[in-house]
Amino acid sequence: MYDHEDLARLQSQSLKMQSWIRQQTFSPENTKHLRRFSSWEVSELIFGINQSTFRGRLASDPSLPGGEVEPEGRQRWFSLDEINELRRRMKVNRKSLMPPRPAGKRAFRVAVANFKGGAGKSTVALHYAHAAALDGYRVLVVDFDPQATLSHSMGLTDVAEDYTVWGIMARDLIRETDRMNDALVGAESGTALPQRKIPSSIRDLGLSELRHQDFIKTTAWSTIDIIPSCANAAFVEFASAQYRHLNPEWSFFAAVSRYLDSLGDDDYDLIIFDCPPAIGYQSMNAVFAADMLYIPSGPGYWEYDSTTSFIGQLAEALEDLSHGFDGTFPAGKMTLPKSFADIRFVMTRFEPGNDLHRAMLEAFRKVFGDHVSENTVEMTRAVEQSGRFLSSVYEIDYREMTRETWRRARASFDRAYEEFRDRVVVAWDKI
């Protein structure tokens, strides 16, 4: 017979070997690098201007970044920073190349969520983050999923759970409890009101000492930062249930929202949440902090079925919060009952030539009306794992695969992203 002590022994054995195994199984390029983008991509695909106009501009103003020419190549290749400098300094037909952002607003927050596993959430989150960065936006992504697909795709492999959403939640529990205790003391000095106690096992982790920047990591993309996740952060679901018991008045679902409120309004433009395939403490935090709910679904019947029950359960959970916390909830940038500036569905892994897929898309439109995105994310071989890191079609150099496969995949993500971006810009004005 085996019990928890055997499990603990197996785990400590594994921990001792972990870094050795990592070294043995990792390929030499342990860090992710972002490639350069060709002048064809920069002009036609990124700035939407023709190549000769772009070349003409570069030739007429030598102070503009000129990119690099590869040995034996003719094209110039530009880094993301160079692209951003060009975007700031160039005007085409007297129009700025900067992406739209309503003045005076904080960053717009989008939760990519569905509790159907494998719906395409992480793929969509990764591609939209990259597309948005190439569009000129400053992006923060938050990985709410301890599977950490998005963190790994963005090149983060060595993450401690303190620096994940779990850390943010535990820190918030301590801070909120202290705030409530102080308020009690202030209001009722002299009376012996019960103070909420946080056990030293949580307090001594030092999480309340962390500053908000400590949770934010940089990525290979200079304009994309990430709050990553890791397998150990799975603990959050289990721990959160206990934390609620320690302080039942703690608005556990608003921890991440409060955290994001502490960022500067102009630090980022877009904040994208990748959610786990479940409704739990982490995904409720994502949903509550979000201005837009973005729901990817595959083109099968069971995915439709599961998407339907997802929105039903989410509705119930959000209603429960309104009853349980309305009146006690401290007003921040989010209020109860929770409302969204927009709710969108998008069909993923779609094959235009597949009759069943087309029928499913029609059904989605009948049921969810104009909440369903016009554009789908098509099934493509271009997003399969290439090497150690999962890469987006934007990261893959088009010379590494059939040009047609790359272009089709990129065009599909571009269309879906552009529609998403247009919706974001409209919804942004409502917050």
Ligand X SMILES: Nc1ncnc2c1ncn2[C@@H]1O[C@H](COP(=O)(O)OP(=O)(O)OP(=O)(O)O)[C@@H](O)[C@H]1O
Residue 122 touches ligand X, criterion: CB under 6 A = yes
| Nearest residue (CB) to ligand X, 207 versus 346 | 346
| Nearest residue (CB) to ligand X, 144 versus 215 | 144
282 backbone dihedrals φ, ψ, rounded to 5°: -70, -45
Give me the long-range contacts of 319-325 (CB less than 8 A, separation at least 24): 321/253, 321/284, 321/288, 325/251
Q: For ligand X, which residue of 67, 84, 108, 120 counts as binding (CB under 6 A)?
A: 120
Residue 117 touches ligand X, criterion: CB under 6 A = yes
- Among positions 123-142, residues that touch ligand X (CB under 6 A) are 123
Residue 410 touches ligand X, criterion: CB under 6 A = no
Residue 225 touches ligand X, criterion: CB under 6 A = no
- Among positions 306-365, residues that touch ligand X (CB under 6 A) are 348-349
User: In Å, how far are 95, 100, 104, 430 from 424, measured between CA atoms?
Assistant: 21, 10, 15, 10
Residue 149 touches ligand X, criterion: CB under 6 A = yes
Nearest 10 degrees: CA dihedral of 376, 380, 382, 383?
Answer: 70
Whether omega for the bond prior to residue 71 falls within 30 degrees of 0, making it cis, is no
Residue 282 touches ligand X, criterion: CB under 6 A = no
Residue 149 touches Mg ion, criterion: CB under 5 A = yes
Kindly state the tokens that stand for 330: 């401290």
Q: For ligand X, which residue of 41, 135, 143, 145 counts as binding (CB under 6 A)?
A: 145
| Nearest residue (CB) to Mg ion, 90 versus 141 | 141
Q: For ligand X, which residue of 38, 39, 43, 147 counts as binding (CB under 6 A)?
A: 147
Residue 379 contact, options ligand X, Mg ion, none, Cβ 5-8 Å cut-off depending on partner type: ligand X
Residue 38 contact, options ligand X, Mg ion, none, Cβ 5-8 Å cut-off depending on partner type: none
Residue 119 touches ligand X, criterion: CB under 6 A = yes
As a whole number of angstroms, the distance between CA 283 and CA 277 comes to 8
Residue 380 touches ligand X, criterion: CB under 6 A = yes
Q: Cα 313–318–322 angle (5° rounding)? A: 145
Contacts of 310 (CB under 8 A, 6+ apart): 113, 114, 115, 116, 279, 295
Residue 383 touches ligand X, criterion: CB under 6 A = yes
Which range in 188-196, 315-323, 376-384, 396-404 contacts ligand X by CB under 6 A? 376-384
Q: Least distance to ligand X from the beta carbon of 224, Å?
A: 17
| Nearest residue (CB) to ligand X, 250 versus 413 | 413
Q: Least distance to Mg ion from the beta carbon of 123, Å?
A: 8
DSSP 8-state code for residue 195: P
Contact 262, 212 (CB under 8 A): yes
Q: 281-289 and 235-246 helices cross at what angle (nearest 10)?
A: 80
Which range in 144-152, 257-265, 327-335, 399-407 contacts ligand X by CB under 6 A? 144-152
| Nearest residue (CB) to ligand X, 149 versus 251 | 149
Q: For ligand X, which residue of 155, 228, 277, 299 counts as binding (CB under 6 A)?
A: 277
**Alpha helices of 262-354 — where are they, by DSSP H?**
281-289, 301-325
| Nearest residue (CB) to Mg ion, 83 versus 256 | 256
Residue 380 touches Mg ion, criterion: CB under 5 A = no
- What H or E segment, with its residue span, contains residue 345? strand 342-347
Burial of 51 (0-12, 13-18, 19+ CB in 10 A): middle
Binding mask 17-36 for ligand X (x = CB under 6 A): --------------------
| Nearest residue (CB) to ligand X, 145 versus 395 | 145
Contact 151, 228 (CB under 8 A): yes
Contacts of 223 (CB under 8 A, 6+ apart): 80, 84, 133, 137, 138, 139
Residue 43 touches ligand X, criterion: CB under 6 A = no
As a whole number of angstroms, the distance between CA 186 and CA 330 comes to 17
- Among positions 117-136, residues that touch Mg ion (CB under 5 A) are 121-122
Contacts of 179 (CB under 8 A, 6+ apart): none
Residues that bind ligand X (CB under 6 A): 117-123, 145, 147, 149, 277, 348-349, 377, 379-380, 383
